[in-house]
């Protein structure tokens, strides 16, 4: 780099996800319940300029820019370990770390749901947007991260629009809800009941909410957990002893408990049909072992599907989604190259700004001298001279700046041109 100018900040991303760390490591790293805002905590680390903190159930990541990435990493890891209560060695054992091109690529892959537990699931993009919105409100992002995050969102949109990566159900919970949609059409006037409040039930609830379900009932052996999940997703909590009464109102029942025996018997379902006036009842049993008596299929207007019915659909869809993911990855690579080209222009910005600042300072100085000699100028004449001199200066520096910008992607040529520009415009000296 030319004398007197610093190289642009590095982009760094560190974090853990479901592949690198168990939940007992991810949970404390999310820094829930701290008195101090995590973003402020990380920005207080030496040399960190901009920072974003992403925390979901499957990943916790810090994205930041730094003028001295090595020092910032050491400081950030130390403060993260301290505030999470984890030994530094444990934290470092599970962390992944990416810089510049690799960090950009990783972020684009995450935004496009290509690095998710279930490839193509859309939730992560909303979570990333929420994290960016919060960082913006806390004023911890600047020129680089603002542009990077907006580009990540546009890459994700392009992947979603130009591929079929999200069009096929590839999780059992998602497939269960898609099956309900095929049977009933729109879900806006339907009532769904979940039996069980574990991970699969939670995913099913999220998909039902996304599908516009009218009402959601959550039944669980531990009522406290049902209440917790219902608060998160806007449903109603009941105990397992209430499911027979609730089934009178339900159109869709999805069961996924860990119970060793049947949770819903043929007799229970049969008793509900008269008060239901034999309205269609759609049951999906995604538990192993099964929760629902297979004999309910013998009851008129009752349709039961189990996990084996869904697995075949899911596997077929996974193969199709994997093919679409390859297309999406090629899109990501193209967008990474575009962003890297923009990043290279940041190396020339200090010199361009130096040229512009020096030219403007000279213009103003000479204008001031001329005003003293000319004297008696009207306001209109002074404004005309100001416009004229500004136009002359801009025309003089226009071509050198264009040459610098055009060669920004050529590292070798940029180095030579920056040195030449610094020398020719004498940017290291005071006016």
Active site residues: 57
Under 8 Å between Cβ of 263 and 240: yes
Q: What are phi and psi of 238, to 5 degrees?
A: -140, 165
Compute CA distances 220 → 118, 204, 238, 251, whole Å. Answer: 26, 14, 7, 18
3-state secondary structure of 54: strand
Compute CA distances 52 → 8, 40, 221, 258, whole Å. Answer: 18, 10, 39, 38
Q: Residues with Cβ < 8 Å from 163, sequence gap 6 or more?
A: 324, 325, 327, 328, 331
Q: How many residues appear in the chain?
A: 431
User: Which of 27, 69, 29 is closest to 45 using CA atoms?
Assistant: 69
Under 8 Å between Cβ of 126 and 44: no
Task: Give CA torsion, residues 28, 32, 36, 37, to 10 deg.
Answer: 110
Give the DSSP H/E element, type plus range, for residue 304.
Answer: strand 302-306
- The per-residue b/e assignment along 311-327, b for 16 or more CB within 10 angstroms, e otherwise, is eebbeebbeebeebbee
Compute CA distances 78 → 23, 81, 87, 91, whole Å. Answer: 20, 5, 9, 9
How are strands ordered across the β-sheet holding 59-66? 48-55, 59-66, 10-17, 96-99
């Amino acid at each position: 780099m030319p004398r007197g100018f610093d190289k642009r900040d590095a982009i760094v991303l560190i974090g853990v996800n479901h592949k690198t760390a168990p939940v007992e490591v991810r949970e404390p790293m999310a820094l829930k319940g701290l008195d101090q805002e995590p973003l402020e905590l990380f920005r207080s680390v030496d040399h960190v300029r901009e920072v974003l903190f992403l925390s979901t159930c499957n990943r916790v990541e810090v994205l930041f820019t730094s003028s001295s990435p090595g020092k910032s990493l050491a400081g950030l890891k130390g403060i993260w370990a301290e505030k999470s209560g984890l030994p530094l060695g444990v934290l470092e054992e599970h962390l992944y770390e990416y810089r510049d091109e690799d960090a950009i690529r990783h972020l684009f892959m995450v935004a496009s749901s290509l690095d998710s537990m279930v490839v193509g699931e859309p939730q992560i993009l909303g979570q990333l947007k929420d994290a960016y919105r919060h960082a913006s409100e806390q004023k911890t992002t600047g020129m680089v991260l603002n542009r990077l995050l907006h580009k990540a969102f546009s890459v994700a949109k392009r992947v979603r629009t130009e591929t079929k990566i999200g069009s096929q159900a590839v999780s059992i919970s998602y497939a269960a809800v898609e099956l309900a949609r095929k049977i009933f059409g729109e879900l806006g006037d339907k009532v769904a009941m979940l039996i069980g409040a574990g991970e699969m039930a939670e995913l099913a609830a999220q998909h039902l909410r996304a599908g516009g379900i009218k009402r959601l009932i959550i039944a669980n052996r531990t009522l406290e957990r049902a209440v917790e999940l219902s608060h998160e997703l806007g449903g109603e909590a009941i105990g397992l002893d209430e499911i027979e009464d609730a089934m009178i109102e339900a159109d869709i029942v999805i069961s996924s408990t860990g119970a060793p025996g049947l949770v819903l018997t043929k007799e229970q379902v049969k008793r509900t049909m008269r008060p239901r006036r034999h309205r269609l009842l759609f049951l999906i049993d995604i538990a192993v072992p099964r929760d629902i008596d297979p004999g309910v299929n013998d009851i008129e207007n009752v349709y039961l599907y189990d996990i084996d019915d869904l697995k075949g659909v899911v596997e077929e869809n996974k193969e199709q989604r994997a093919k679409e993911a390859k297309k999406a990855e090629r899109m990501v690579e193209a967008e990474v190259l575009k962003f890297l080209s923009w990043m290279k222009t940041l190396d020339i910005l200090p010199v361009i700004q130096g040229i512009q600042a020096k030219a403007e300072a000279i213009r103003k100085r000479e204008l001031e001298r001329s005003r003293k000699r000319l004297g008696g100028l009207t306001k209109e004449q002074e404004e005309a001279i100001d416009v004229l001199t500004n136009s002359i200066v801009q025309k003089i520096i226009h071509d050198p700046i264009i040459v610098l910008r055009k060669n920004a992607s050529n590292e070798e040529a940029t180095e030579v041109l920056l040195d030449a520009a610094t020398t020719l415009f004498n940017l290291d000296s005071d006016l």
